[in-house]
Amino acid sequence: MSRWLRLTAGLTLLLALAIRVHASEDADAIRSFIMGMPKAELHIHLEGTLEAEDYLEIMARNDLPSRYPDAAAVRDRLQYARDLDTFIEVYEELLSAMQTAWDFEDVAMRYVARVADQGVVHVEMFFDPQMHTYRGIPLATVMAGLQRAHERAREEFGVSLWFIACFNRDRSRDSALRHLEALRPYRDLVIGVGLDNPEEIDFPEKFAPVFARAAELGFRRTTHLDVDVPNTNAHHWAVLDLLDVERIDHGLNVADDPELIQEVRARGIALTACPTLLFREIPGRLESRLARIRTLLQAGIQISLHSDDPGLMRDLYIGDLYLLAHEEGGFSRKEIEALARNSFLSSWIDDDRRNAWMGAFDDWLAAHPVAF
Ligand code: ADE
Ligand code: ZN
């Protein structure tokens, strides 16, 4: 090879290396931007934050015998979940590790510690009171733990942590009503109520009196409307007609019906979307969820991204999901910002605090001019 050719080949190689380094620097800058950007987590289940290792540790300290010898065996069990029903089966099995007030405090605090470096400043966390009282854990035990976590989250991480009590759609209306009344003394900590668990055929009608009473007592209101489940369109309309909700958890099927889009937007109902569900990968699922999230965002719906049950779903926490939206869905900086801004707009904090968060959010964006 002539000297000239060798020189050209050398320069080309250097240029390719420089481009690679530059691209990976860009990717690092985008990653830190997305992770560090302030955000509010509004769709996260306390019980679903339990990771395999947490489960084993809590079982052991409560002297409960585990069917699983190690974390890998717990993760194998998580692979069993293939839809909402099977997912809830595993969820109910694993949450039974929690027995004492300390367990509830500890699980909530493990979550806060995990997301404190993902930009999370405010959390409205679901918990399932019925799943604990029905196995003999008094509500007062659960609430004592959550109260401590609320205080420690602020003291140790500067995170504002509040709770939403979810009633199970596959349990009776009377049970929901009884639990609602029992929650009255905790109104300062439990800012709202929701509905979760499998979507039974008559769930909106069944819970109309519960939600009317919750409104009377000053609780904010949301409900799960899971994605691509049977009768979803009818359930969306019945929820709008009967439950007077301020938010919908998931609600991605709104994107499939232009009239629903119009109605949800007109009523100012916010959606808390979760791009992932289940421990296992299901081909096409992430793409279809991201596509609907984009459609709803473009339609002017107040939608934001959340993690649902990260401990039971491949450890994808909220920052990881914003990153996934960019890396897998091609979401631009403008879209990522809009989703995070919506998380503050949709939260149930008072207006003074919301304005303070929004101001801090805008300042943070101005100080981080990363383009993508
Ligand atoms: N409980 C925990 N996660 C849930 C979900 N995504 N839908 C319904 N119930 C749940
Ligand atoms: Zn959920």
**315-329: per-residue pLDDT in tens?**
899 999 999 999 999
- DSSP string across 323-355: HHHHHHH---HHHHHHHHHHHHHTS-S-HHHHH
* pLDDT of 91 above 80: yes
SS3 263: helix
Of all residues in the chain, the percent with pLDDT exceeding 90 is 88
Q: What is the pLDDT of residue 85?
A: 92
pLDDT in tens, 208-234: 999 999 999 999 999 999 999 999 999
Whether 269 contacts 345, CB under 8 Å: no
Distance from Cα 42 to the centre of ligand 2, integer Å: 10
pLDDT of residue 240: 98
Q: What is the CATH number of domain 37-364?
A: 3.20.20.140
Question: How far is Cα 236 from Cα 253, in angstroms, rounded to an integer?
Answer: 8
Q: Ligand 2 centroid vs 145 CA: distance in angstroms?
A: 21
Q: Which of 44, 127, 309, 316 for a ligand 1 pocket mutation test, highest count of atoms within 8 Å of Cβ?
A: 309
Confidence of residue 3 (pLDDT cuts 50, 70, 90): low
Assigned token pair, 245: 């909700």
Comparing CA positions, the residue from 161, 221, 217, 225 lying closest to residue 194 is 221
Distance CA 347, CA 99 (A): 30
Average pLDDT over residues 190-213: 96
Specify the residue for token string 């900590």. Answer: 189
pLDDT band for position 8 (cuts 50, 70, 90): low
The whole-number average pLDDT for the span 173-185 is 98
Tell me if residue 268 falls in helix, strand or coil: coil
**Ligand closest in space to the Cα of 313:** 1
pLDDT at 157 over 70: yes
pLDDT at residue 21 in the model:
52
Distance 236 CA to ligand 1 centre (A): 16
| Model pLDDT, residue 15 | 56
Q: What is the pLDDT of residues 247-267, one digit of tens each?
A: 999 999 999 999 999 999 999
Question: What is the residue extent of each domain of the chain?
Answer: 37-364
Q: How far is the CA of 168 from the centre of ligand 2 (A)?
A: 11
**C-alpha of residue 61 to centroid of ligand 2, in Å:** 28
Backbone angles phi, psi at 271, to 5 degrees: -115, 135
What confidence score (pLDDT) does residue 10 get? 64
Q: Is the C-alpha dihedral spanning 43, 48, 51, 57 positive or negative?
A: positive
* Atom of ligand 1 at shortest range from CA of 128: 1
CA 209/CA 213 separation, integer angstroms = 6
Q: Which ligand is nearest to the CA of 195?
A: 1
Q: Which atom of ligand 1 is nearest to the CA of 197?
A: 9
Residue-averaged pLDDT of the chain:
94
**Which residues, in sequence order, are CB contacts of 121 under 8 Å at separation 6+?**
38, 39, 40, 158, 159, 160, 357, 360
Check: CB of residue 90 under 8 Å from CB of residue 77. yes
- Averaged pLDDT for residues 181-193: 98
Q: Which atom of ligand 1 lies closest to the CA of 199?
A: 8
What lines the ligand 1 site, CB under 6 Å? Answer: 45, 48, 84, 91, 196-197, 224, 226, 308-309
Atom index in ligand 1 nearest the CA of residue 196 equals: 9
Looking from the CA of residue 274, the nearest atom of ligand 1 is 6
Per-residue pLDDT, averaged over 342-361, amounts to 96
pLDDT of residue 315: 84
Mean pLDDT to the nearest integer, 225-244: 96
Phi, psi angle pair for 129, to nearest 5°: -55, -40
Q: For residue 263, give every residue at least 6 positions away whose Cβ sits within 8 Å of its Cβ, in sequence order, or none.
A: 240
pLDDT at 280: 76
Ligand 1 atom closest to the CA of 48, numbered from 1: 2
Q: Which of 346, 258, 333, 329 is nearest to 296 (CA)?
A: 258
User: Residue 19: is its pLDDT beyond 90?
Assistant: no
> Which of helix, strand or coil describes residue 181?
helix
Give the pLDDT confidence of 274-316 residue by residue, as tens digits: 998 777 788 899 999 999 999 999 999 999 999 999 999 888 9
Collapsing DSSP states into helix, strand and coil, what is residue 125?
strand
- Ligand found nearest the CA of 169: 1
- Ligand at minimal distance from the CA of 43 is 2
User: What pTM, to 2 d.p., does this model score?
Assistant: 0.94
Residues 142 and 183: beta-carbon distance below 8 Å: no
CA distances from 141 to 59, 151, 176, 259 (A): 17, 16, 18, 45
- How many other β-carbons are positioned within 10 Å of the β-carbon of residue 32? 12
Long-range contact pairs involving 278-284 (C-beta distance under 8 Å, separation at least 24): 278/81, 278/82, 278/83, 278/87, 278/313, 279/75, 279/78, 279/79, 279/81, 279/312, 279/313, 279/314, 280/78, 280/79, 280/81, 280/82
What is the pLDDT confidence band of residue 183, given thresholds at 50, 70 and 90?
very high
Q: How far is the CA of 309 from the centre of ligand 2 (A)?
A: 7
Average pLDDT over residues 97-119: 97
User: Residue 22: is its pLDDT beyond 60?
Assistant: no
Which residue has 């609602």 as its token pair?
Answer: 180
Residue 277 CA to ligand 1 center (angstroms) comes to 9
For the cut 70, the answer to whether the pLDDT of residue 7 exceeds it is no
Q: Which two tokens stand for residue 299?
A: 């339609």
The set of residues, in sequence order, having a beta carbon less than 8 Å from that of 212 and lying 6+ positions away, is 244
Q: What is the pLDDT of residue 75?
A: 95
